[in-house]
Homo-oligomer: A and B are copies of this chain.
Amino acid sequence: MSFADRLAEAVQTSGSVTCVGLDPRKSQLPATLRDSVSTDSPDAWAAAYTQFCTEIIDVVAGRVACVKPQAAFFEQLGPAGMVSLGQVISYARKVGLLVITDGKRNDIGSTATAYADAYLGTDSPWGSDSLTVSPYLGRDSLEPFVEVCDARDAGIFVLVKTSNPGGGLLQDRVCDGKTIYASVAELVSELNSTRIGKSGYGPVGAVVGATYPEQLAELRSAMPGAWILIPGFGAQGGSADDVKAGFDGSGLGAVVNSSRHIIFAHSRPEYKDKFGDVKWLDAVSAATDEMNAQLRF
């Protein structure tokens, strides 16, 4: 089944449009887990990251649409971290969760193909269902990824309109009456046009931040065949009302990512006293329920 159709099925089966961002950070791990790291070695921290992420995966499995491991935090540990990333991805898939690896990779020609080959599809070293990619290099930097998506029933999410304040510097520039993000959206639609599956969506998705609700509405209609990955919900300030416009009439077409608010829920004021570090997984569970409830339109 195509990635787009699998994602539609995941949203329908779980009844959730939540994507849980797996962003392990040494300093923010629950004390119980942090203290279990005996030696300050990459291998020890990598093991803690794997345990942290797989325990979260056990809690959210069947209750959310997908998970999004952030490659950077695993890379920060060196090769040992990249082993952990692979373990986390395969564990998530084993329990039936779709995986969007957040790597924002980008290059041209055979180099882009090498990145796609590394991350996309079950048989790749980091067997993800999909990968985030950056579009600055243009169409010939996206096509090699899309070809691998075709061959492996995988997907990509192209950065279109990002959630950070500085994103506008390039993305909002208006050229010939059209913003740069709108031009990238056009490219996303073109690449999808011949690839739309049963669900009405294709393998080429887009990243559009929750912090720009008007642009989200504009981009939803500009890219009818593209799944939208919406970061910036919760910790970054995006609300449920802000993301509504990302969905189609049947509640499909978008998944909303939350990282810190769920995985580090034990540190949130409203959960700190109730759960604290010891019951950190109960905090993850409560935060997941809360987000799912907020996004049930």
Q: Give chain A's interface residues, CB within 8 Å of chain B.
A: 23, 25, 42, 70, 72-73, 75-79, 81-83, 86, 104-112, 114-115, 117-119, 125-126, 134-141, 159, 162, 164-171, 173-176, 180, 183-184, 187
Distance between Cα atoms of A184 and B166 in the complex (Å): 13
By a CB distance below 8 angstroms, the chain B residues around A111 are: 23, 70, 72-73
Partner of A167, one of B25, B70, B137, B175: B137
Contact A79 B72 (CB under 8 A): no
Are A165's CB and B136's CB within 8 A?
no
CA–CA, A21 and B118, complex, Å: 20
- For residue A267, give the distance in angstroms from its CB to the closest CB of chain B: 15
CA distance A108 to B162 in the complex (A): 10
Residues of B within 8 A of A175 (CB): 173-175, 180
Give 25 CB contacts A-B under 8 Å.
Answer: A42-B125, A72-B107, A75-B118, A75-B125, A76-B114, A76-B115, A76-B117, A77-B118, A78-B86, A78-B126, A79-B82, A104-B107, A108-B164, A135-B136, A135-B170, A136-B136, A136-B170, A138-B164, A139-B169, A140-B166, A141-B164, A169-B183, A170-B183, A173-B173, A175-B180
> Cβ of A125 and Cβ of B79 under 8 Å apart?
yes
A125-B42, A138-B171, A164-B137 known; A83 vs B75 contact (CB < 8 Å) = no
Q: Decide yes or no: A159 and B138 within 8 Å by CB, A23-B111, A105-B104, A170-B183 being known contacts.
A: no
Nearest neighbor of A259 in chain B, beta-carbon distance: B111
CB–CB A169/B104 < 8 A:
no
Contacts of A109 in B (CB 8 A): 164
The 4 closest A-B CB pairs, nearest first, are A78-B125, A138-B166, A140-B166, A138-B169
Min CB distance A100 to B, Å, is 14
B168, A138: Cβ atoms closer than 8 Å: yes
**B72 adjacent to A118 (CB under 8 Å):** yes
Once the chains bind, are A138 and B115 in contact (CB under 8 Å)? no
Tell me, in angstroms, the Cα distance from A134 to B104 when the chains sit together. 9
Q: Which of B70, B83, B184 contacts A170 (CB 8 A)?
A: B184
Q: Point out the residue from B106, B139, B167, B174 that lies within 8 Å of A138, measured CB to CB.
A: B167
Query: Could you say which of B79, B134, B162 contacts A86, with CB atoms under 8 Å apart?
Result: B79
- CB of A199 to closest CB in B, whole Å: 28
Distance (whole angstroms) from the CB of A269 to the closest CB of chain B: 20
Instruction: Specify which chain B residues have a CB less than 8 angstroms from the CB of A118 in the assembled complex.
Output: 72, 75-78
A151 to B169, CA, bound (A): 26
- Given the interface pairs A86-B78, A183-B173, the reply to whether A137 lies near B166 with Cβ below 8 Å is yes
